[in-house]
Amino acid sequence: VSFVSGLMLGMAMLHFIPHAFRQNHSVDQTMSLALGGFLVMFFLQRFFPHHHHDVSEGAPEHGHAGDECAHRHDVAVTHSLAEQAASRLSWAATTIGMAFHSLLGGVALAAAVAAEAGGHSGLVGLGTALVIILHKPFDAMTVSTLMAASGCSRFSRHVLNGLFALATPLGAILFYAGASELVGSNPVFLGGALAFCAGTFLCIAC
């Protein structure tokens, strides 16, 4: 995980942002779009993935006797909130969040390849593909684990993982379908896409 984070950090800082600046020739626009990509991914990860940070069952209770009742009440409330959150944020919600995440990864890959096709040096496309290939198994493991914990069958887990694997190629196809003409005639568009994807990579690396 640390290796993938470092790779994403390097791709964002050393490739995406410099290439974006070369396309749009504006530091302000490049960094504003990078910040936008960071915030989109930040809120996407905050609202969709399944995380709980509550007190574990049977955790030791410290403090005086007067504090013991209040502590038990806090633990009960925390568990109640965790159970409510678990019922709302199921594996389906997590999969939706990961799918949006993967779509953005496909956009990043297509933008990187388009930048290389524009004559920029460096293996930007290969590096981005490597980031996605190394990062996606962790996402797939998260979805599969939550489905297994919810009692889903092995067949349904395989089917959903197969569909989930198509999200990144779909993002690349959507980028080319909507940007194939704009990339050639409007380099600012490609620079904006690279800057936005740099922000998403920085957020994931963090």
Predicted pLDDT at 55? 43
Tens-place pLDDT, residues 84-107: 544 455 778 778 888 888 888 888
Q: Which residues contact 116 (CB under 8 A, 6 or more apart)?
A: 122, 123, 124, 125
Predicted pLDDT at 52? 40
Q: Look at residue 22 and tell me whether its pLDDT is greater than 90.
A: no
C-beta of residue 182 within 8 angstroms of C-beta of residue 89? no
The confidence band for 13, taking pLDDT boundaries of 50, 70 and 90, is very high
Predicted pLDDT at 198? 92
Predicted pLDDT at 31? 96
Predicted pLDDT at 119? 62
Predicted pLDDT at 71? 54
Q: Look at residue 111 and tell me whether its pLDDT is greater than 50.
A: yes
Return the HEC string of 59-102. Answer: CCCCCCHHHHHHHHHHHHHHHHHHHHHHHHCCHHHHHHHHHHHH
Tens-place pLDDT, residues 128-145: 888 888 888 888 888 888
Predicted pLDDT at 69? 56
pTM, to two decimals: 0.64
Q: Look at residue 121 and tell me whether its pLDDT is greater than 60.
A: no
The confidence band for 184, taking pLDDT boundaries of 50, 70 and 90, is low
Q: Which residues contact 59 (CB under 8 A, 6 or more apart)?
A: 75
Q: Which residues contact 5 (CB under 8 A, 6 or more apart)?
A: 204, 205
Residues 171 and 25: their CA atoms lie apart, in Å, by 26
Mean of pLDDT over the chain: 78
Check the CA dihedral 201-51-133-181 and report its sign: negative
Predicted pLDDT at 54? 41
